[in-house]
Structure 1
Amino acid sequence: MTALPDELQRELSGLLGEAWLTDPGERLAYAYDNSRRHAMPDAVALPRTREQVLALVRACRRHRVPVIARGRGTNTTGASVPVAGGVVVSFERMNRILEIRPGDRCAIVEPGVLNGDLQTALKSHGLFWPPDPTSAAFSTVGGNLACNAGGPRAVKYGASRDNVLAVTAVTGAGELIVCGTATTKGSTGYDLHRLLVGSEGTLALIVEASLRLTPAAPARAALRAIYRDVSAAAQAVARLMAQPVTPSMLEFMDARAVQLARDFGGADLPAEAGALLMIEADGDAQTLPHSIDALKRAAQGDGLISLDDASDEAARERLWAARKALSPSLRTLAPGKINEDVVVPVSRIPELVDGVQALAREFDLPIVCFGHAGNGNLHVNLLYDPADDAQSERAHAAMSRVFALALALGGTLSGEHGIGLAKREFMPQAVDAATLALMRQLKQVFDPDGILNPGKLLPDP
C-alpha cells in the first residue's frame, strides 16, 4: 500500500492504466539514482503524452503530493531520488524524435530520448548535438537538460544550456508553457528556456525540447601532452585557450590519475609523468593540420616531457586509451567513490589540485582529479570504503572542504552534474543571500505549492 490519497490513486490509475505503478517491487527500481542514495516513491507514472503529464501534475497539486521527474537516473547528485515520497514521473515512454530539420539545424524531441540514440539519428544528416556526458549512451535528453550536462566537447561547443532553442514544459502550477523559439536568434521577452535548463525539475517538467544542432566536422586529430607536474600542465592549458584555435576537447589528468591509468589500466605512460593533457581539434582536411600545429605550439613549454600526435582514428584511440582506462582503475583503490565536479578559473587549476592533494593527506584518503581543463571543470574522485564508518565520515568531511576550496579560488560548486541533494547545503556559500532569495521567489512563481522535486537544489530557508 502507498500513502497516496484514495481519490488521487483512482484518478491517476484511470488516467494512466498499466502505466501507473504502485507495486513495491516495481517502485523500487525508481527509488535510487547513480548517487546510490535511495528513497521509495509512493507511485511511479510512465506517461506517453504531455496531456497525461499536465493532468497528473494538476491532480498532484490538488492533493499537495510531490512530483519528481526522472530520466534514466544516471545523475550522481541524488537529484532524482524521491526523498519526500510522492510520484516519480519517468519519461522513458516519451522517447520520440519528433522532427529533424537539417536546414534549420534543429531537432525536436521528447524528454525520454536517449542522447546516444539522438546522435545516431543525426549522423546520417551530418549533424550532432554537442552535449556528450560520459553517460550519453544511457542518459536522456531531458536529464541532460535538467542538470545542464556538458562533457568534453563543451570547451568548444558549449553545454546543454548553450544548445537548446526552446522547451515546452508543465509548471508546478499545472500550466503548459512554451519557452523560447526554434530559431537560432530570438529577442522576445525573458530567456525562460535557459532558466529551465539546469533547474533539476524544481520549476517545471520538460515535455518537449527544440535542440540546436551542429554540423559534424569531417576530420579530427588528437594530441597527448605529458608534463612534469600539474603547474606545467595548467600553464599549457592557459596557452592553449589564449590562442585562436579552440580545441574541440581538452582533458586533464593529475599525477594520481596518470599513475592509475598506467599501473592498473595498462596505458603506455612514462613513470615521470606528473600530469597529462588530451587535446583534440576538428575541422576539414585542409585546415585541420594548421589547427593541430597551432595547438602543438601552445602545448610546448617548460615542463613538457612528451608530445604525441595521432593523425588517424586508430592512433587516436591508442592515445585515448589512458583516459578510458582511468575509470575502471579507480575501482582498484576502494569500493566506494564520491565523484563531484567543481569549476575554477583555468589559471587556478594548480591551486585546486594542490589543495585537493593536501586534503587527501590530511584525511588519509586517495583523491583523483581529472576532467575538462578548458572549462576549469574538474571531477574530484574521493575513494573510500562505505562499510567503514570512520572512512565515510572523513570522506564527506573532505568533500565539504573541496567545495570550500573551489569557492575560495573564485569557482563554483558544479559545472555539469548539478546540485541535487549532494551540494544543496553549500548553496549559501556559493550564492549570495539576495540572489538565493530571488531563486526562491522564482521557485514560488513556477511551483506555488512546492510539489516539484522537493528537497533539491535550494536549501531550506
Structure 2
Amino acid sequence: MLPAAFLTRLGAIVGDGKLLTDEASCYAYGYDNSRKVFPPDAVVFATSSEEVQQVVRLCDEFAVPLTPRGRGTGTTGASIPEQGGVALSLERMRRILAVDPANRVLVCEPGVLNQEVQDAARPHGFFWPPDPSSAAYCSVGGNLATCAGGPHAVKYGVTRDHVLGLKAVTGKGDIIKTGCYTTKGVVGYDLTRLLIGSEGTLAIITEATLKLTPLPAAVGGLTAHYRDIASCARAIAAIMAQPALPSALEFLDQASLDLIRARHPGLLPQETRALLMIEVDGAPGEIASSAQAIRAACSNDGLIRAEIVSDLKALWAARKALSPLLRDIAPKKINEDIVVPVSRLPELLQGLGELSARYRVANANFGHAGNGNIHVNLLVNPDDAEELQRAEACLDEIFTLVLRLDGTLSGEHGVGREKRAFVAREIDPVTLQLMRDIKQVFDPQNILNPGKMFADPQ
C-alpha cells in the first residue's frame, strides 16, 4: 500500500488520466512474456524526460520501488514489478524527434515501436538493424534495455552496435546524456554501452540517438536440408569460417520443423531433420557468388539438398511463428537463449539432445546459428511436479554445458528475474561486486527495477 501523500504528489506530476491505482488496471502491468505476474501498487504514464525525472525523485524520496517498462514483450520478467511499488510505463513516449539521412541518424523516445523506426527510415534508404521477432510490437526502449538482437545480428550486430547516444534519468533523479551525435567519439567513459542491456536497473532511458544503416540493394537466400543435427552443426561452422558472410543464418531442429509442418502442410519435406535458412545481401552482382560460396560450405555427407530460393517470405513467416506455436502446446515452456562460440555448436547440440533424452523432457531448439545463439525450449507441464523437477535439473545441466563450452547464459533476452540465480556461475565474484558497486553509484537507494539481473547477495 502506497502512502496517500505519495499518490497525491505522483498524480500532480503527470496530470489527469496518467495514474492508475485500481487493482484491475494495475494487474495488466504486472506481467510480461515470462508469464509471471507481480502487479504494481500503481501505474504511471510519463510523456517527457522531465516527468520521468520528477517521478524518479519522488520514488527516491519515499523509497518506493520503480519498475520501468515498455510493451512487456520480454521473456525474462525484467519489466514486472516484483517488489510492488510503481510501474512506470513509457509507452506514451512515442515521438520520433528527428530523421537525419545526411548523418544516418534517427532520434526517438523509448515508446516508439521497432517497426515504426524501420518505417521512418526506409523512405530514406536506411534501416535499424536490430530485428527481434516481436519487432511489430516491441519498443525501442525495450530493445535498449535488453540489448535485443535478431536474425540479422550475424552480419549487423545487436542493439548496442547501433546506438550513438542516450538521454536517461538515474536512480537519484539526475538527467544524464551519454555518447554523441557522431560515429566517432571517445570523450569520457562509454556510458551508452553500459546502459544498453542494463534492464532499467541503472537509469531510465528517455531518448535515443540511433545509428542507421543503408538498406541492402539486393537480398537472396537458400535453404539447406540435413539428415541429422550433427551434419547441420558442422555446416554452420563451415559457413562461418569462409569469407562470404550471410546476413542471416537460422537453425531449426526436428521438433521445430514438425511444428511448422503441422501448421503449414507441404512447406517442408518429411525427410528433413534439421534445416538452415540462409540469407545474403549486398550489391546485386554479389548475391549469386555469395550464395554459391555458402552453398558449397553447406555440403557434407549429411546434406540432403541445398537450394537457392528467390523468396524466403513464407519460411521467414513460419520461423517467426515458432515461439507462438510453442506457447500453444506448452503455455509455460522454459525458454532460454544460450550462446556458444560457433565452432562449439556441434558439441552443444549433441549435448542438448543427450540431456533431453536423459531427463525425458521434450525440447525444441532453433535460433540464430550464425552467432551460436540457440533458443532452447523445454516443453513442460508446470502442473506436473515431477516433470517440472526433471526440467529444472535438465536446465541446470544445460547451463553447465554452455559455460564449459565458453558460452554465455543469455544472448539477447536479458537476465531479468528468470536467470539471476545463475549469473554468479558466469561472472566471477570480484567482477560481480564491481557491477553491484556501479549499481550503487547510479541508484543509491536501489529503487530502479530492484532485484533484477543479480540475486540477493545474501
Give the AA of the match of 2:373: N
Give the AA of the match of 1:5: P
Count of aligned pairs between the two proteins: 456
Q: SS at the partner of 1:413?
A: coil
| Other-structure match for 1:269 | 268
Distance 1:29 1:133 in 2: 23
Distance 2:14 2:320 in 1: 42
How much has 1:353 moved relative to structure 2?
Answer: 1.6
| Other-structure match for 1:350 | 346
Contact 2:133/2:320 (8 A) holds in 1: no
| Other-structure match for 1:409 | 405
Which deviates further from its counterpart, 212-221 or 233-242? 233-242
Q: Deviations over 1:345-373 (max 9, x none)?
A: 11111222222222222222210110000
Give the AA of the match of 1:196: L
Distance 1:325 1:377 in 2: 18
Contact 2:218/2:281 (8 A) holds in 1: yes
Give the AA of the match of 2:140: V
Q: Against the structure 1 CA distance between its residues 307 and 105, is the aligned structure 2 distance closer, same or farther, given a 3 Å change threshold?
A: same
Identity %: 53
Which deviates further from its counterpart, 288-297 or 261-270? 261-270
Distance 1:450 1:325 in 2: 38
Q: Against the structure 1 CA distance between its residues 438 and 362, is the aligned structure 2 distance closer, same or farther, given a 3 Å change threshold?
A: same
Distance 2:192 2:225 in 1: 41
Distance 2:157 2:217 in 1: 19
Describe how 1:236-315 pairs up with structure 2 within 5 A.
Answer: 236-311=235-310, 315=311
Q: Deviations over 1:20-72 (max 9, x none)?
A: 11111211110100101111101111011100000110111011111111000
1:422 matched to 2:402? The reply is no
Q: Deviations over 1:160-197 (max 9, x none)?
A: 01111101100001111001011111111111100000
| Other-structure match for 1:104 | 103
Q: Deviations over 1:73-126 (max 9, x none)?
A: 000000011011111110011011100101111100000000011111111111
| Other-structure match for 1:47 | 46
TM (normalized to structure 2)?
0.96
Give the AA of the match of 1:452: L
Distance 2:392 2:422 in 1: 13
How much has 1:340 moved relative to structure 2?
Answer: 1.0
Query: Which stretches in structure 2 are left out of the alignment for 5+ residues?
Result: none
Q: SS at the partner of 2:408?
A: coil
Which deviates further from its counterpart, 369-378 or 234-243? 234-243
1:9 matched to 2:7? The reply is yes
1:193 matched to 2:192? The reply is yes
Let me know the Cα RMSD of the aligned residues. 1.5
Distance 2:383 2:227 in 1: 37
Q: SS at the partner of 2:345?
A: helix
TM (normalized to structure 1)?
0.96
Contact 1:182/1:210 (8 A) holds in 2: yes
Distance 2:441 2:420 in 1: 20
Distance 2:75 2:29 in 1: 15
Distance 1:41 1:329 in 2: 30
Distance 1:153 1:266 in 2: 27
Q: Against the structure 1 CA distance between its residues 174 and 436, is the aligned structure 2 distance closer, same or farther, given a 3 Å change threshold?
A: same
Contact 1:224/1:319 (8 A) holds in 2: no
Contact 1:265/1:325 (8 A) holds in 2: no
Describe how 1:139-178 pairs up with structure 2 within 5 A.
Answer: 139-178=138-177
Q: SS at the partner of 1:286?
A: helix
Distance 2:330 2:316 in 1: 24
Which deviates further from its counterpart, 129-138 or 222-231? 222-231
Q: Against the structure 1 CA distance between its residues 328 and 111, is the aligned structure 2 distance closer, same or farther, given a 3 Å change threshold?
A: closer
Contact 2:230/2:349 (8 A) holds in 1: no
Distance 1:117 1:27 in 2: 27
1:454 matched to 2:453? The reply is no
Q: Deviations over 1:404-453 (max 9, x none)?
A: 22112110110000000110000110101111011001001111111110
Which deviates further from its counterpart, 272-281 or 54-63? 272-281
Give the AA of the match of 1:232: S
Q: SS at the partner of 1:210?
A: strand
Q: SS at the partner of 2:124?
A: coil
How much has 1:316 moved relative to structure 2?
Answer: 2.2
Q: SS at the partner of 2:312?
A: helix
How much has 1:300 moved relative to structure 2?
Answer: 2.0
Contact 2:35/2:332 (8 A) holds in 1: no
1:400 matched to 2:399? The reply is no
Q: Against the structure 1 CA distance between its residues 202 and 85, is the aligned structure 2 distance closer, same or farther, given a 3 Å change threshold?
A: same
Distance 1:358 1:160 in 2: 34
Q: SS at the partner of 1:356?
A: helix
Distance 2:317 2:38 in 1: 37
1:387 matched to 2:386? The reply is no
